[in-house]
Amino acid sequence: MTDCVFCKIAQGEIPSGKAYEDDLVYAFHDIHPLRPTHILVIPKKHIASLAETTAADEPVLGRLLSVAQRLATENGSPEGFRAIINTGRIGGQEVPHLHLHIVGGATPVGPMLNKA
Ligand code: 5GP
Ligand code: ZN
């Protein structure tokens, strides 16, 4: 997708702190990290959000999760991490290209959510 910042990152058109790449996914350090470890893992192909996926996307969805443990361990969060996929307006998604946040570090990331 031409105007998508994460497509441009995956294609190397916008610089990023690359953490990992394979045939299906690209991972890079979040520009505004919320924890010492904060990596985004994205499909290389444009998928707007988790809500736009179908069964045909199962290989890439599986890959997003299967690389998470290794990325966390290699990037300062070997004792666990949190994986987050914000989806749509209610989920607080800001960038309309599916991404998995991996957040962690040496200390616990904290409560999952604050009560609304
Ligand atoms: P969302 O709120 O959509 O789940 O998260 C989007 C994330 O993308 C945010 O944490 C934000 O800091 C990160 N982000 C947005 N633009 C860029 C960028 O150009 N480069 C990098 N590395 N991260 C970005
Ligand atoms: Zn995109």
Query: What spacing in Å lies between the alpha carbon of 65 and ligand 2's midpoint?
Result: 19
Please report, in tens digits, the pLDDT of each residue of the chain (116 residues total). 679 999 999 999 999 999 999 999 999 999 999 999 999 999 999 999 999 999 999 999 999 999 999 999 999 999 999 999 999 999 999 999 999 999 999 999 999 998 88
Provide φ and ψ at 75, rounded to 5°.
-125, 35
Identify which of 28, 37, 86, 95 to mutate to test ligand 1's pocket (most ligand atoms within 8 A of the CB).
Answer: 95
What is the predicted pLDDT for the residue at 35?
Answer: 98
Query: What spacing in Å lies between the alpha carbon of 45 and ligand 2's midpoint?
Result: 7
DSSP state of 67: T
Each domain of the chain, given as residue ranges in start order, spans: 5-104
C-alpha radius of gyration, the chain, whole number: 14
CA distances 2 to 10, 23, 42, 59, Å, are 12, 20, 16, 24
Task: Please name every residue paired with 104 in a beta bridge, in sequence order, or none if there are none.
Answer: 37
Nearest CA to ligand 1 atom 20: 31
Q: What is the pTM of this model?
A: 0.97
Confirm or reject CATH 1.20.1530.20 for domain 5-104, answering yes or no: no
What is the predicted pLDDT for the residue at 115?
Answer: 85
Q: Which long-range contacts (CB under 8 A, 24 or more apart) does 105-114 make?
A: 105/35, 105/36, 105/37, 105/76, 105/77, 106/36, 106/76, 106/77, 106/79, 109/35, 109/81, 109/82, 112/82
What is the predicted pLDDT for the residue at 1?
Answer: 67
What is the predicted pLDDT for the residue at 116?
Answer: 82
User: What are the start-end ranges of the H helices in 26-74?
Assistant: 58-66, 68-74
Residue 4: closest CA among 39, 42, 46: 46
Q: Which ligand is nearest to the CA of 43?
A: 2
